[in-house]
Structure 1
Amino acid sequence: MNINKQPTTSYRWETFSHMADIGIRGFGNSPEEALIAVSLALISVITDPQKVSPTSSVSIICQDDSYDLLLYDWLNCLIFKMATENMLFSAFEVELHLPFLRGTAWGETVDREKHNPAVEVKGATFTELFFGQNGNQWIAQCIVDV
């Protein structure tokens, strides 16, 4: 289990351009760290994660046969929770044991003045979907539809 009670800056993530959409990528020393990092990259497409206070939580459970599909499911569950709960997230806890991924996302209700959301993320896609190791480093990435 990996709980993000550290500042969001302790995780390494990035976004990258992809035609009309946006790529998100997270890096970590474990699959859990990479999931947390890519989750922060997802939020960064919308707003600065450091502007989001982790005051409320939602639970997410995913089940699939591969790391790639668990990443896809996890990101789409986060996007669904953001849309249906009107929330943004900034802290995450994940526990990954194939075929299960259990997690908690902490955040707050969207405040347009505070968060100044840039775009709405519609969903994670299978484009450039990858969740695995490159040497000793774990990488989680995909393209999100905006």
Structure 2
Amino acid sequence: MAETQATGWDHFPHEGDVGVRGHGDTLAEAFENAARALTSIIVPLDLVEQREVVTVTCEGSDPDYLLLDWLNAVIFEMATRGALFSGFTVEITGNGLRGEMRGEPVDVTRHEPSVEPKGATLTELRVAQGVDGRWVAQCVVDV
């Protein structure tokens, strides 16, 4: 799996599904990296050109549910637009999130997508700040 130090994200195994985990100096950065981890289960990030921008807003009663809403918004936009995203910018204010996703339409020949994520789940859901001050944002994605 990916090296967390270099990428800010990694995966963890979970039966037939995939765990995605983002790390960051800020909560927003951890959410951005969790979205990168999500896309990377489909296709290597460096194959996705950042040609189009999609903006979404999300709300959650706490950071855990905000992460679920964010990742499910990414999955929804990928599915309905037939697109992949590799660039993410997140701003979090209170229980709200404004996110920008940058990517392009899926080119099956060039991207060769490996799986289709169905949804972010409550399984292994955790958003927390460690003793070192860094944030982690994770959950299992149904594929």
TM-score (norm 1): 0.91
Query: What is the CA distance between 1:10 and its match in structure 2?
Result: 5.7
Tell me the distance in 2 between the aligned counterparts of 1:63 and 1:44.
24
Which of 137, 142, 145 is equivalent to 2:142? 145
The structural deviation recorded for 1:99 is 1.2
From 54, 59, 63, the equivalent of 1:63 is 59
Bigger Cα displacement from structure 2, 73-82 vs 92-101: 92-101
Give 1:11 shift: 3.6
Give yes or no for the alignment of 1:131 onto 2:127. yes
1: CA distance, partners of 2:82 / 2:18: 21
Equivalent position to 2:116, from 117, 120, 130 = 120
Gaps of 5+ in 2: none
- SS at 1:103's partner residue? strand
4+ residue stretches of structure 1 with deviation over 3 A? none
**Number of equivalences:** 138
Q: TM-score, normalised by structure 2?
A: 0.93
**CA offsets, 1:48-94, max 9 Å, x none?**
01110000011110012200000000000000000000000011111
What is the DSSP-based 3-state SS (H/G/I as helix, E as strand, rest coil) of the residue aligned with 2:110?
helix
By how many angstroms is 1:117 displaced? 0.4
Aligned Cα root-mean-square deviation (Å): 1.1
Structure 1: gaps (5+ residues) = 1-8
What is the alpha-carbon distance in structure 1 between the residues aligned to residue 8 and residue 100 of structure 2? 19
- CA distance, structure 2, for counterparts of residue 132 and residue 80 of structure 1: 25
Contact 1:26 1:139 in 2 (8 A): yes
Of 78-87 and 90-99, deviating more is 90-99
What corresponds to 1:5 in structure 2? none
In 2, are the aligned partners of 1:64 and 1:98 still within 8 Å (CA)?
A: no
